[in-house]
Amino acid sequence: MACAKVPLDELHVTEPFGPQGKERTLPALHPDRKEERCFLTYKPPPEDGTPVLVEQFLEHAQFISEDLEWLLALPHDKFWCQVVFDESLQRCLDSYLRHAPRGLDPSGLSSSPAVADMQRNIHRFVFMVFLRMATHKESKENFITPAVFAEIIYNNYLFDIPKILDLCVLFGKGNSQLLHKMIENIFTQQPSYYGDLNETLPSIIQVFDIILQKCGIQSENTGNSQPLKLNANKCLTAIAMPEEELADLVLYMCDTCTTIHSFLDTFPEACSTFKQHNFLNRLSSFYEMAVPDLEKAVKKRNFNKSLQEDMWRRISHSRKKMVEIAHLLLQHTCLQPILEGSENMVSYVEDLLQNFTAFLQEKRFLADYDEQFPIADDISLLQQAFPHLYPLLWSSGTLYDDFKRNKRGSILPSFNFKNVFLSTSGEIKVIFLPFYFWELESLLSSIRDLLPDLGEGFILACLEEYGYNSELVINNILEDKLSPSLDKLDKNELPSVLSTRSNVFDDDEFDVFNRDRLDMSRVWKGRRQGESVCATLHDKQHIEEQRARYQAYQIVVDEIPIANDPSGERDNAFGMDDYDDEYDDTYDTNQIGANDLDEEDELLNHYAHFRLFMMILCYFDQNEAVKKDHFLQDPAVLRERAEARRAAMQSRKGYRPPPASNVVGGPKGRGQTQEIILDRRRKEANKNRGANHSRRMMADRKRNKGMIPS
C-alpha cells in the first residue's frame, strides 16, 4: 500500500495483476495503472440553433462532461497516470482550447438555455483539470517533487506557450488571480518556458508583417532590402481583396491582439521578454500602417450588413487591445520600476521618454493612446513621486502639451532647445532634436514637390506664418491668399547663409554680422604698440576698480590703526568691540538686495544656469558611490561572480544538474535503502550509454534469437 508523505515520483504501489490476481509492485506513475477510457474531442455549439444540431451537441457534450467529472474525482496518483499516459485526454483538452467560443465569436448559447448550461459545465471542468495539472502539491500526503513535476509537464507537453496563451484568453476573465498563480507556478518550477516564450515572440511579430503584406503595405522592419521586380505579382490591397480573405485577415488580427493582451494582463512578468524584442515599437508601427487601411476598406466596400458590423466591431476591439498592450508594457517595464524606486531609475525614465519620443512619429497611435491613458497623468505622477527629476519631466511634459494642442501633431511650433535632461552617462541630451529636423525637412520636401519654383526661405516663412501646416500653406499659395507680410517677400529667395550659420562667437563684441558699431580701440593689426610685458604686469588698474567697488560697502580696510586711545572710539569705529548691547538684530534674517530689480534676461539666465549646475551636481553626488574604480579585485570574488552568472544562465536555459548517484551502498546482508536500489536499477538500465558500447543490449538480442544458450 501507499506510504504517507512520499512524493508520487518515488511512490510504489502493490496491486493484483492478471486473471489469477497475483500481486505485483509498480511505480505509482506507470502506464499499466491508466484506466481504459476514450475521451471525445470537443465541438463548438451550433450557430444557427437547428434542433437536430442542438440535440447532437448536447449528447456529445454530455459524454465529455461526464468523463471530465470522472477524471477530477480520481485520487492523486490515478489522476496523474491518466493525465500523463492517456493521449485521448490530451486531444480532448486541446480541442476545447482550440474551438471553444471566444468573446466576439458568434455562438448558439443564446438560442437554447440547455446549450448554455452544458457549455458552462464543460468550461468549468476543463479549467479545473488544467488547474489540477498545474499544481504539484495538493496536500501534505499528495505531492510531486518540484524538479520531477517540471520534467513531467514539460517533456509530456502538458503545457506549452500556445496552450498558456489560449488559457489566458478563455479563462482570464473572472479567474485572473487564480490563473496568474497557476501560470506563475508553471514558469517558476520550469524556467524553460521563458526560453520557449522568447523563441515564440518572433513568430508573433511575424503575424503583423503577414497582415501588412496581405494589405499591400511594406513594413520597414521586415529586413527585405531587395528591390521589387517589375514583373512580380501585384499584392492586393485591403480595399481590393476578396471579401472572405479580408474577413479572415480582420479575424486574424483581432484574435492575435486579444490573446497577447490577455496573456500580459494575466502574467505581467512576461513584459520584460516582450521588451527584449522591441515589441512596443513594432506594435505602434503596425497600428499606424494597418488600422487606417483596414478601416477604410470596411467603410467603403459594400458588405453584408451583419458581416460589416462584425468586422468593424473586431477592428475597434483590436485597436483598444493594442493600446492596452502598449500601456501594460510601459507600466511594467518603465513606470512601475520607477515608482518602486529601482536602482537604475534614471535609465527607466530614459526608456519611458524614448518610447514617448518614438510615439511622436505614430500620430494616430499616440492620439488614441493619450485618449485612453493620458500621458500627462503619467508625467505628473512621476513629478510628484520624484521632484528631483523635475527638469527632465517638465521638459517632456511641456513639449507634449504643445504637441497635443497642435491639430497636426507637429512639434515644430513649440520646439524649445531648453528641453534637455541628464542621461546616465552624465552628458546633456536634447530630446526630440532628430525628429525636429526630420519633420522640418519632410514639410519642406512635401511643399517643394508640388511647387518646385519656390525658394526654401520663402517656404520656411510661410510655414512659420501658418503654424507649420503644409496643407494650409499650399492652399493659400495656390489661391493667392497669402498674408501681406508674405506677399512682400521674394518667392525665389533662398535662406541666407548668415541666418542659418551657427558659431561659438555669435553675438560677441566683434560679431560684425550682427553689430553695426565696434569698439575700434580694441582692434589692432599685429602686435599692440605702446605696451610691454613689464607694463602689463605692473598694471593694477583692475585692483583699483575692485577696491572702489568694495569701498562702497565699507568692508575693505587697508590698515587698522591701534593706539592708546582712552576713549576707545577708534576701535569701535572698525567693529573691534566684542559686544554691543544696543545692537538691533531684527532684520538679520532679511536678504539684502533680494527685491532689487535686475534685468529680466540676466535673472533668467542666472536661474537657468543655477538649476542646471545643481542638477548635474546632485546627479554626480548620488552616483559617486556607484562609480568606484576597482583596479584589482579579489580573484575569489571574481570566481564566485562567474559561478553565479553560470548558474543563472543554466537556470534560464532549464538545465538541471543530474542527481548524485550512489550504487555502493552498505555492507552485504544488512539491507539497502530505497535510494541505493533505484540508483542501481538506473545504472543497470543505462549501461549501454557509457563505454560498454551497447554490449549488454546486443547480448540480450543474441540470447532472444537463440544464438546464446540461456
* Residue pLDDT, tens place only, 645-684: 888 887 777 776 667 777 787 777 777 888 888 888 888 7
Predicted confidence at residue 501, as pLDDT, reads 62
What is the dihedral angle through the alpha carbons of 384, 386, 389, 392, rounded to the nearest 10 degrees? Answer: -40
Q: What is the 3-state secondary structure (H, E, C) of 287-330?
A: HHHHHHHHHHHHHHCCCCHHHHHHHHHHHHHHHHHHHHHHHHHH
Percent of the chain as helix, strand, coil, to the nearest 5:
60, 5, 40
Query: The C-alpha cell of 350 is what?
Result: 530614459
Between CA 551 and CA 567 the distance in angstroms is 26
> Are 153 and 159 contacting, i.e. CB atoms less than 8 angstroms apart?
yes
Between CA 550 and CA 561 the distance in angstroms is 20
Question: Bridge partners of 143?
Answer: 137
Predicted confidence at residue 418, as pLDDT, reads 34
Q: Tell me which residue has cell 485521448.
A: 88
Stated pTM of the model: 0.59
23 secondary structure, DSSP code:
E
Between CA 462 and CA 485 the distance in angstroms is 10
Predicted confidence at residue 156, as pLDDT, reads 93
Amino acid at 405: R
> What does the angle CA 354 – CA 357 – CA 358 come to, to the nearest 5 degrees?
90
> Are 418 and 399 contacting, i.e. CB atoms less than 8 angstroms apart?
no
Helix or strand or coil: residue 472?
A: helix
> Are 86 and 37 contacting, i.e. CB atoms less than 8 angstroms apart?
yes
Amino acid at 422: L
Predicted confidence at residue 662, as pLDDT, reads 78
Predicted confidence at residue 173, as pLDDT, reads 86
- Residue of 212, 168, 221, 164 lying closest to 192 (CA atoms): 164
Q: Quickly list DSSP for 131-181.
A: HHHT-SBSSSSSB--HHHHHHHHHHTTSS-HHHHHHHHHHH-TT-HHHHHH
> Are 161 and 25 contacting, i.e. CB atoms less than 8 angstroms apart?
no
Spell out, as residue ranges, where the chain has pLDDT lower than 70. Answer: 1-4, 107-111, 219-235, 385-439, 493-504, 527-533, 550-632, 656-658, 687-694, 708-710
For the chain, report the end-to-end CA distance as a whole number of angstroms: 35
Helix or strand or coil: residue 581?
A: coil
Between CA 328 and CA 274 the distance in angstroms is 11
* Residue pLDDT, tens place only, 594-650: 444 444 444 444 444 444 445 544 544 454 444 444 456 778 888 888 888 888 887
> Are 262 and 336 contacting, i.e. CB atoms less than 8 angstroms apart?
no
Amino acid at 384: Q
Between CA 184 and CA 164 the distance in angstroms is 11
Helix or strand or coil: residue 571?
A: helix
> Are 249 and 301 contacting, i.e. CB atoms less than 8 angstroms apart?
no
